[in-house]
A and B are shown apart, each in its own frame.
Chain A
Amino acid sequence: MSAVKKNYVVETLRKAQMIELLAKGKRLDGRALDEHRQLTIQTGLIQKANGSALVSLGNTQVIAGVKVATGTPFPDTPDKGLLVVNAEVLPLASAYAEAGPPDEDAIELARVVDRGVRESEMVDMEQLCIVEGKTVYSVFVDVNILNVDGNLFDATSYAVVSALRTARMPKYVVEDDKVKATEEIVPVPVSKTPVSVTMAKIGSTLIVDPTNEEEAVMDARITITTDDEGNICAGQKGNPGTFAPSEVLQAADTSIRIGEKVRRIILEATA
Chain B
Amino acid sequence: MAEKKLIDENGIRTDGRKWNELRPIKMEVGTLKNADGSAYIEFGRNKIVAAVYGPKEVHPKHEVLPDRALIRCRYHMAPFSVEERKNPAPSRREIEISKVIREALEPALIAEDYPRTAIEVYVEVLQSDGGSRVAGITASSLALADAGINMRDLVVGCSAGIVDGQVVLDLNDTEDKEGTGDMPVAFMPNLNQVTLLQVDGIYSRENFQKAFELAMEGGRKVYQIQRQALLDKFFGGMQTESETQEGDE
**Closest CB in chain A relative to B90 CB, distance in Å:** 10
Stretch of B43-51, B98-106, B126-134, B232-240 contacting A (4+ beta carbons < 8 Å): B98-106
Contact B197 A235 (CB under 8 A): yes
Which residues of chain B are near A120, meaning CB under 8 Å?
202
Across the two chains, which residue of chain B brings its CB closest to A226?
Answer: B205
Across the two chains, which residue of chain A brings its CB closest to B182?
Answer: A119
Which residues of chain A are near B204, meaning CB under 8 Å?
230-232
Interface string of B93-116 (1 = CB under 8 A from A): 101101110110011000000000
Cβ < 8 Å to B, chain A residues 43-86: 76
Per the CB 8 Å criterion, the residue count for chain B at the interface is: 39
The answer for the CA separation of A235 and B136 in the assembled complex, in Å, is 20
Interface string of A126-143 (1 = CB under 8 A from B): 000000000000000000
Contact B205 A245 (CB under 8 A): no
Cβ < 8 Å to B, chain A residues 197-254: 222, 224, 227, 230-245, 247-249, 252-253
Stretch of A33-41, A89-97, A104-112, A260-268 contacting B (4+ beta carbons < 8 Å): A104-112
Contact A104 B107 (CB under 8 A): no
Partner of A237, one of B66, B96, B106, B198: B198
Across the two chains, which residue of chain B brings its CB closest to A102?
Answer: B92
Interface SS majority for chain A: mixed
Contact B197 A232 (CB under 8 A): no
Cβ < 8 Å to A, chain B residues 166-207: 177, 181, 183, 187-188, 191-205
The answer for the CA separation of A76 and B173 in the assembled complex, in Å, is 14
Across the two chains, which residue of chain A brings its CB closest to B102?
Answer: A240
16 contacts across the A-B interface (CB closer than 8 A): A104-B96, A107-B99, A111-B93, A111-B96, A119-B201, A231-B203, A231-B204, A232-B202, A232-B205, A234-B199, A235-B200, A237-B103, A240-B102, A242-B191, A243-B194, A248-B194
* Given A107-B95, A240-B106, A245-B212, 19 new contacts (CB under 8 A): A8-B67, A107-B99, A108-B99, A111-B92, A230-B204, A231-B205, A232-B199, A232-B205, A232-B208, A234-B200, A237-B103, A237-B194, A237-B195, A237-B197, A241-B103, A242-B188, A243-B194, A249-B212, A252-B209
